[in-house]
Every structure is written in structure tokens, then in C-alpha cells.
Amino acid sequence: MTNNKEQSKLIRDQKGNIKALNVTKEEFLKLRPVISPNVKILKRTDVEMLLEIDIQEIKKKSLIKRLFPTPNTRKIMLDRLGMDVFKRCDGNHRIKDIFQEFQDEFKLTPTEVEVSVQQYILSLTERHIIGFLIPKEIVGKEKLKDGAIDKILIDPNR
């Protein structure tokens, strides 16, 4: 029998598809972000980076996007700080490591890093630019497909 905490981690839609993962702050810090295979770097300079995201797979999940013609790709420009976060999304860095590196490199307080970098990482997730390698202790026996989780929610009450 599973406890309520474990059951509440995965948020599903009416069809049973996983829509989000609800984690504690400690669990979030253990996640390892990775760049989506649907992302290409089109242009990179010292101060910015242009990305192109192939959204064809995402469009298949949305009835509205299938009914109304929209482009199959989306372009996003990252500034220098965005590039610094993006390059650390290699599957080797935990969120905790990224926070620490930003603190050290930019002489920021832990609170400044948590607020700004955490929000930025979550926005990259929602834009399908990055995903996460999720430790088994967070999802238990649940088998997750690549791209199964579109959103990470950090629950301060868990």
C-alpha cells in the first residue's frame, strides 16, 4: 500500500496521463536537468544564444494546436544568465549544484539564487527546452516515458 505523499506526487489529467510532478524543495534540489532532444542551438555569441524548439510532438497532445495551423518550431533567445543555466543542464548537475555555482560565480545570496534560478529553470521546463532525470526515490515504481512530465510543482507544504 502506498502512502498519500507518494500518490500525490504525480498529477494526472482525466485520461490518466501525467501532467505534472509535485515535489518538495529537497526533492527539487536532487533533480538533474537535461536539454530536450527537440532543441537545436542556432546561434551562440558571448552574450546570447538562439534556440529552436521542435514542437511537433507537443502539438500532437493539444487539440487546439491540431485544429489551428501553427508553426512546428519555436525560437527563443537566451541572454547571458540564461545561457549559464542552459549549459549546466547536462544531466550531470543537480539543481543544488547549479544553485551553488551561481552563488559562487555571481556572488549572490542563497535566496537570490533560489528565487531567480529556480523560476528560470521551471520556465525552461514549461517551454519544453529542458526536462529532468528524476531519481527513483521521488517517483517510486512509476515508469515514466521521456517527456512524460511537462511541469514541476514545488509544494512547500510537503
Give the pLDDT confidence score for residue 38 in this predicted structure: 92
* Selection from 87, 89, 95 nearest residue 113 by Cα: 95
SS3 15: coil
Domain boundaries of the chain, sorted by first residue:
16-38+80-154
For position 65, what pLDDT does the model report?
61
Beta-strand relationship, 48-54 and 39-44: antiparallel
In this prediction, residue 110 carries a pLDDT of 93
Report which residue type is found at 43. K
pTM of the prediction? 0.81
Which residue ranges of the chain lie beneath pLDDT 70? 1-8, 58-66, 145-148, 158
